[in-house]
Structure formats: C-alpha cells, structure tokens
Amino acid sequence: MRHLPNTLRQVAMLALLASLMIGSAAFADDAPADDSFRPLFNGQDLSGWRAGKGGPPGKGWQVIDGQLVRAERGGDIYTEESFGDFVLELEFLTHGNSGLLFRKPNPANTLKDRLEIQIMPPRDGRPSKHSCGSLYDCVAPSKEMCRKGDWNQLRLISANRRIEVVLNGEKIIDVDLSDWTEAGKSADGKPNKFIRPLREISSQRGHLGFQDHGAEVRYRNIRIKPLDDEPVEAPKAD
C-alpha cells in the first residue's frame, strides 16, 4: 500500500477500515481464527515488552496464570515495536484506574503526545470523557459497557485518523480526528490535555502500552493486526 499515490492509498485504507467497522464485534472463543492477527503477549514471559525509559519492564508487571498483571508498582509498560494503523484486541479485568496507551512515539518521556483508552471499573451516572472505554479526556463512550469484577473484551481500531472502540460487543466510540487541529483543544473548542493536535497524534507511528496508575489490572489474549507496513522495533536501551 505504501507505493500507491496518496489519494489511492487513502481510498484503499478507507475501504479497509469500512470493512473492519462493519464486522466489528467482540471476539468470541468460537470465532474462526484470523491469521492476520499476531499475539503481542505470549502468556509465559515479558518478551517484546519494555519499561518506558527502556530496559526490562518494572518488577510490578508479572505473568500470572498466563495473564499480564500489574501486581504492584512497576511503571508504565510498552511494546518494543511501534505501529502505524492497526486493529487491537484484548481482554482486561481491572480493580482500579489504568489505560491502554497507543500512538506513543517515545516511551521515555511522559508528555501527553499519545492517545489513551481509559481502563477502569464502571461508574454510576452518565459516562464521561474519563469513563471506562473513553478516548481519554476527549470523547466519552456512548454508554457504560464495562463489567465490574469480570473480564471485558475490547477491540480498538486506529486507522486513517479514525478511532473506534468496541467494548463487550457494543461500539462505544467512533470518531474521526481529522478536524481536531489545535493543540490542547478538542474539535468543539473545549480544552484537553494533549500537547499536539489530535489530528497529528492519531496518524503518527507509536508504541502500545499499559498504564500503571496504582491498581491491580490484568490483561490477556492481546493481539494485533497491523494495517499498513511492518512494525519497527524500538532502539535498545544503553
């Protein structure tokens, strides 16, 4: 796809994205295997993962019963590879605040130059921009779909500046960030915490990660389908 003219490439990507959105659903155990996905976590060790500042993940991140668990303080954890457009599927069980981080160009800094899907237990009342499944600080989910004290299935599509989130079989986020052109502001003019326009952030290559926000969180069945070129491995820490 990289050799097509920009216009043709954009049309092709939109067609692919549309087909993915039509088929968006929670991934059931009996669903047919999709060979275009590959695992990001092998269920045995932390191969392919790194601490934000480089080197092995913090000791608080552990493999327990085939799950990636934030058991105690360990700092944020990131993939060694970076990705462009992608489809990501995973399951999570959380007892507190965490986040699915993506489009992070340099995990060594703590700048708000990446996107986040909020991971946390459900709250009473109307969902907000900080509720489970939200595009953090930017877009609230259409409804509260997180299950308290149970496993949740999440599907994230990030392609062509468009973000879609499906949580437990329900599409709760579907937003095009092409018009989010000001740093620190959403498309409606309301402030957000990001240091660059989301139009730019949503199209940059970056690492995927999980946030350590002080709570026990468990992840499993983490797999990705890259939609553009091959992922790039992060430089090795000195």
Domain assignment present for 99:
yes
What are the structure tokens assigned to 126, written together?
């109307």
Whole-number average pLDDT of the chain? 88
Q: What is the pLDDT of residue 31?
A: 46
Mean pLDDT, residues 125-137: 96
Domain assignment present for 144:
yes
Distance between CA 206 and CA 231 in Å, rounded? 9
Query: Which of the 8 DSSP states describes residue 53?
Result: T
Q: What is the pLDDT of residue 16?
A: 54
Distance between CA 44 and CA 111 in Å, rounded? 31
Domain assignment present for 238:
no
**For the chain, what is the radius of gyration of the CA atoms?**
17
Q: Are 199 and 219 in contact (CB under 8 A)?
A: no
Per residue in 25-39, pLDDT tens? 444 444 446 679 999
**How many domains would you assign to the chain?**
1
Per residue in 43-53, pLDDT tens? 999 999 999 99
Chain centroid to Cα 108, Å, comes to 18
pTM of the full structure: 0.84
Mean pLDDT, residues 151-172: 98
Q: Are 223 and 90 in contact (CB under 8 A)?
A: yes
Q: What is the CATH number of the domain that holds 184?
A: 2.60.120.560
Residue 122 clears pLDDT 70, i.e. is over it: yes
Q: What is the pLDDT of residue 170?
A: 98
Note down the domain range covering 136.
6-28+36-233
Query: Which of the 8 DSSP states describes residue 147?
Result: P
Q: What is the pLDDT of residue 110?
A: 86
- 20-44: b (≥16 Cβ within 10 Å) or e: beeebebbeeeeeeeeeeeebbeee
Mean pLDDT, residues 67-92: 97
Q: What is the pLDDT of residue 33?
A: 60
Domain assignment present for 1:
no
Mean pLDDT, residues 40-63: 97
* pLDDT band, very low/low/confident/very high, at 215 (cuts 50, 70, 90): very high
Domain assignment present for 196:
yes
Domain assignment present for 118:
yes
- Check residues 201 and 16 and name the one with the higher pLDDT: 201
